[in-house]
Structure 1
Amino acid sequence: MNRLQDAYKETPFQVNGHGPRKIQVLKEAFENLDGQLESEMYGKGKLIEDFQEKMASVLGKEAAVFFPSGTMAQQITMRIWCDEKGLKKVAYHPLCHLEVHEEDGLKELHQIESVLLADKTRVIEFEDVTGMKEEVACVLLELPQREIGGLLPDYQTLEAISAYCKEKGIMLHLDGARLFEILPYYEKNAAEICSFFDSVYISFYKGIGGIAGAVLAGDNDFIEKSKVWKRRHGGDLISLYPYYLSADYYFEKRIGKMKQYYEEAKELAGFYNQCYGVSTKPEVPVSNMFHVHFDAPKEVMELILTEICKDADVGLSSYVREVTETISYFEVSIGDLYEKLPHEKLTDAFKLLDARMRANSDKT
């Protein structure tokens, strides 16, 4: 039994995301669609092709293809660039999704080695790329770097890394799972950011809030090769319409709200940083996401957050993770729920958090 998770689900007000991932998410997306529309078959058909062309245009690329998962899309990307270069090495951050969340799929399925750039506490900088001791086929940048609180390099660093990779013949790939969420910080559009990269992946279930799925974009030749590998990976389901139609619906619904989410994330981080023994990473968010760290063990924070759910009717998080025996954290991602939260309720929740953190400190 998870007391915190249960208490969080029962709260009338929750801080994070767009709301529970219930079947209603799919029903809403399909509510006004013509039931007689023909779905695609094995990746071919007007509906999916129109959506892919739309996303290619948004990302400023020649072509795009819809994938059932970003894991599949990015492993395939690395395989294509390695095959083109005749070199089975790619470089990325030590906490890159391919390195820590995919059961070594890149290595086991494609025999591709990883070269780790920077250390686990910071983003990849220009000097990390230029200082590589090994030759690689591709460099992958994740924007934002989720596992360290959603940190970002500055825009000039992106420009410099891109120019260097072009000069050296190294392919540059963007893990843009949260691409749209970082645009307000950079004050650029998606195509401007993507112009630095040879290939781009975006997700539709994170900030966009769709059911599942991803898009991979690049030049025509790259995308045609990715379609072959998509078939080899079993990604050509007979129909993918529940995924890309919901992706399109929620993209249109939320793409214009990214700046709002970003400003709300900065406001919320301010509330956390005013509490005793609490800090956010980064202190001022650079997207709609950040991490909240507590000077208290995981078990203590689970109890405190459960009490806040019950006493303030506000769910700050449904989980806590351990950093050390005395420090814990959770991740925040702002979506549609935040604007529905009464300000006085939020204020009460943070007063309680501050009081409980101080009381816990007095005990220790």
Structure 2
Amino acid sequence: MYGNEGSSDKKSLKAAFDRTVYQVVGHGKRNVGVLQQAFSGIDGELDSDMYGMGPSLEAFEANMAGVLGKASAVFFPSGTMAQQIALRIWCDRKGTKRVAYHPLCHLEIHEEDGLKELHGIEPILLADKDRLIGLEDVQQLGEDVSCLLLELPQREIGGQLPPFEELVAISEFCREKDIKLHLDGARLFEVLPYYQKTAAEVCVLFDSVYISFYKGIGGIAGAILAGEPEFTKASKVWKRRHGGDLISLYPYYLSADYYYEQRVGKMDLYYRQAQELAEWYNRCHQMKTVPAVPVSNMFHVHADVPKERLEHSLVEVYRETGVGLTAVLKEKADGGCSFEVSLGDRYGEVPKDRMQLTFELLDQKLRGESL
């Protein structure tokens, strides 16, 4: 038995998850140790950057530009800032403040209408919210659209991806119509094993690219925005206007560099582990994954049981096995519930026999069988 019965708070899913010995998702706790580890080998005499300039920062930006196959790159403290600025630049360039993206795009549902309120940009929502944007959707765009944003993978629908051939066709269409194509590549490195492409081979299809350093990479914070020099030069002006030129950014980009080097080579492992874990879920009563076979290290799990029932079952399973699967459940309109899975370093630490026991117990509880 793992953990103790106690107050109602201690019986909550989050509290039960926090008490488990093995936690399946992510790289580990986001505490100050993440920064300490990243800085353990850095010379304390290394000069800081100042207001977005400095040799160490510029070297990191140049390296990431090369990885992405772009001529230039700029480090930003947040992806929210970077992407709003990218779209603003493309709108100003064309003289049309209209952009297109998915209904569940981060800019639409997580940024308090920043694109609209700060920049006066009107979004055109493409496709239904439960499916990917396809070439036919893009072909319906008028020429009064400045930019199309594509997210790879599309997080809010389970991390789904279009076929690479469709990306190529969309890119070619946009260039024919003078519509700039921007990549929300917050999780770009995580999809490369599925596409069997390098980052540069994907990014060549796009006019501008954003990547994150705290999601699959597991850094503190920060993002890169990459493109042609004229584009990145304009982005630096907007970064200053947004207050993004902190006096020093080194805690973010040095840790980003460290964890990039530590983890970018593990993305294929995380991808294969996600497929393995999805098989466990899909064999479990009243549960399924979206996609059925993951295309990156992330996917969603949907359960055809009420949130309260699944939460109760999970708390009991955590207590019996010491394995934590998720800390959060989301209610669905159909009466079921769902949660997101994103794998990193921790999955490999869970003993296989412990994982098997976890899913055997969960399956039994969902079937209403006695243990």
TM-score, scaled to structure 2: 0.96
Give the Cα–Cα distance (whole angstroms) in 1 for the partners of residues 280 and 328 of structure 2: 19
Give the Cα–Cα distance (whole angstroms) in 2 for the partners of residues 336 and 170 of structure 1: 39
Q: Give the superposition deviation at 1:133.
A: 4.9
Amino acid at match of 2:296: S
**Aligned with residue 303 of structure 2, among 294, 298, 301:** 294
Amino acid at match of 2:71: E
Amino acid at match of 2:264: I
| Paired residue secondary structure (1:215) | strand
Q: Give the superposition deviation at 1:233.
A: 0.2
**Aligned with residue 30 of structure 1, among 39, 46, 54:** 39
1:280-319 matches, cutoff 5 A: 280-319=289-328
Amino acid at match of 1:289: M
Deviation per residue, 1:302-344 (Å, 9 max, x gap)? 1111111111110000110111262100000010001111000
Q: Give the superposition deviation at 1:135.
A: 2.4
Residue 209 (structure 2) pairs with residue 200 (structure 1): yes
Contact 1:63–1:220 under 8 Å retained in 2: yes
1:39-54 matches, cutoff 5 A: 39-54=48-63
Give the Cα–Cα distance (whole angstroms) in 1 for the partners of residues 333 and 319 of structure 2: 27
Give the Cα–Cα distance (whole angstroms) in 2 for the partners of residues 239 and 302 of structure 1: 43
Deviation per residue, 1:76-135 (Å, 9 max, x gap)? 001000000000000000000000000000000000000011111111100000012572
Give the Cα–Cα distance (whole angstroms) in 2 for the partners of residues 66 and 133 of structure 1: 32
| Paired residue secondary structure (1:275) | coil
Partner of 1:18: 27
Partner of 2:5: none
**Aligned with residue 150 of structure 2, among 130, 134, 141:** 141
Give the Cα–Cα distance (whole angstroms) in 2 for the partners of residues 229 and 153 of structure 1: 32
Give the Cα–Cα distance (whole angstroms) in 2 for the partners of residues 304 and 66 of structure 1: 44
Q: Which runs of 5+ in 1 are unaligned?
A: none
Contact 1:297–1:324 under 8 Å retained in 2: no
Give the Cα–Cα distance (whole angstroms) in 2 for the partners of residues 15 and 32 of structure 1: 28
| Paired residue secondary structure (2:273) | helix
| Paired residue secondary structure (2:248) | coil
| Paired residue secondary structure (1:344) | helix
**Aligned with residue 120 of structure 1, among 107, 124, 129:** 129
Partner of 2:253: 244
Q: Give the superposition deviation at 1:158.
A: 0.5
**Aligned with residue 156 of structure 1, among 165, 168, 174:** 165
Contact 1:269–1:280 under 8 Å retained in 2: yes
Q: Give the superposition deviation at 1:205.
A: 0.3
CA RMSD after TM alignment = 1.1
Contact 2:143–2:179 under 8 Å retained in 1: no
Give the Cα–Cα distance (whole angstroms) in 1 for the partners of residues 317 and 218 of structure 2: 26
Partner of 1:210: 219
Give the Cα–Cα distance (whole angstroms) in 1 for the partners of residues 328 and 354 of structure 2: 20
Runs of 4+ in 1 over 6 A off after TM superposition: none
Contact 1:297–1:325 under 8 Å retained in 2: no
Q: How many residue pairs are counted as aligned between the two chains? A: 361
Deviation per residue, 1:214-245 (Å, 9 max, x gap)? 00000000000000000000000000111000
| Paired residue secondary structure (1:329) | strand
Amino acid at match of 1:80: I
Residue 260 (structure 2) pairs with residue 256 (structure 1): no
Contact 2:73–2:226 under 8 Å retained in 1: yes
Deviation per residue, 1:17-74 (Å, 9 max, x gap)? 1011011111000001101111100000011000000000000000000000000000
Give the Cα–Cα distance (whole angstroms) in 1 for the partners of residues 290 and 104 of structure 2: 16
Give the Cα–Cα distance (whole angstroms) in 2 for the partners of residues 47 and 134 of structure 1: 41
Amino acid at match of 1:84: R
Residue 80 (structure 2) pairs with residue 71 (structure 1): yes
Partner of 2:347: 338
Residue 151 (structure 2) pairs with residue 106 (structure 1): no
| Paired residue secondary structure (2:44) | coil
Residue 138 (structure 2) pairs with residue 129 (structure 1): yes
Identity %: 61
Partner of 1:181: 190
Q: Which runs of 5+ in 2 are unaligned?
A: 1-8
Contact 2:143–2:178 under 8 Å retained in 1: no
Give the Cα–Cα distance (whole angstroms) in 2 for the partners of residues 135 and 154 of structure 1: 27
Deviation per residue, 1:178-203 (Å, 9 max, x gap)? 00000000000000000000000000
Partner of 1:62: 71
Q: Give the superposition deviation at 1:352.
A: 0.9
Give the Cα–Cα distance (whole angstroms) in 1 for the partners of residues 119 and 42 of structure 2: 40
Give the Cα–Cα distance (whole angstroms) in 2 for the partners of residues 170 and 132 of structure 1: 9
**Aligned with residue 286 of structure 2, among 272, 277, 291:** 277
| Paired residue secondary structure (1:291) | strand
Amino acid at match of 1:222: F
Contact 1:90–1:137 under 8 Å retained in 2: yes
